[in-house]
């Protein structure tokens, strides 16, 4: 296992990142915040939502397989019961870096998905948010990282 900061740094070193669960209604979804932040910080980011073709003014894909040229990392920001299928798709596509988004509450974290991915050699970050670390962080997210690490919603090791 590695410390969360190391895993986050490795994840954020990947420049082609998919974000699942990006919503047509951006006001109510943390996934859209993650998507926009990655885009603003220079990442080549891809929205994944099977229910729409456009999100945040960009093309949206129904699944990871549909993204031209593939991706190197995936942020899962869907309901937890959908996370295992996404991790399975990551394993099938040899995507080695997966981050299950979690702020307060359960977020997208699924123990089964985490176990499945790790058994197949994927680095699975099971909690927290990419916006809490490195080049994507802001002061508010850094403060949330501290509080949510204490509560257990941001893992110390992955």
Per-residue model confidence as pLDDT tens for the chain (158 residues): 899 999 999 999 999 999 999 998 876 667 999 999 999 999 999 999 999 999 999 999 999 999 999 999 999 999 999 999 999 999 999 999 999 999 888 899 999 999 999 999 999 999 999 999 999 999 999 999 999 999 999 999 99
Residue 103's pLDDT is: 86
What top-level class would CATH report for the domain 4-151? alpha beta
| Distances from the Cα of 88 to the Cα of 2, 103, 122, angstroms | 22, 23, 10
Helix (H, G, I), strand (E, B) or coil at 117: helix
d(CA 138, CA 55): 23
Place of tokens 């456009």: 54
Residue ranges of domains in the chain: 4-151
Residue 29's pLDDT is: 66
Residue 106's pLDDT is: 84
Q: Is the pTM of this model over 0.85?
A: yes
d(CA 119, CA 107): 22
Residue 126's pLDDT is: 97
Residue 24's pLDDT is: 86
Place of tokens 């040899």: 94
Residue 40's pLDDT is: 96
Residue 28's pLDDT is: 61
How far is residue 134 CA from its own chain's centroid? 14
């Amino acid at each position: 296992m590695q410390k969360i900061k190391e895993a986050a740094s490795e994840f954020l070193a990947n420049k082609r990142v998919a974000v699942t669960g990006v919503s047509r209604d951006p006001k109510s979804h943390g996934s859209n915040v993650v998507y926009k932040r990655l885009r603003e910080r220079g990442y080549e980011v891809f929205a994944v939502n099977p229910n729409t073709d456009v999100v945040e003014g960009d093309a949206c894909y129904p699944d990871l397989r549909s993204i031209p040229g593939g991706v190197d990392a995936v942020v899962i920001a869907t309901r937890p019961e959908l996370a295992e299928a996404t991790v399975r798709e990551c394993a099938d596509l040899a995507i080695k870096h997966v981050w299950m988004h979690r702020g307060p509450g359960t977020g997208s974290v699924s123990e089964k998905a985490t176990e499945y991915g790790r058994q197949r050699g994927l680095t699975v970050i099971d909690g927290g948010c990419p916006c809490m670390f490195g080049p994507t962080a802001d002061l508010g997210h850094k403060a949330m990282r501290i509080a949510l690490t204490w509560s257990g919603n941001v893992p110390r090791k992955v």
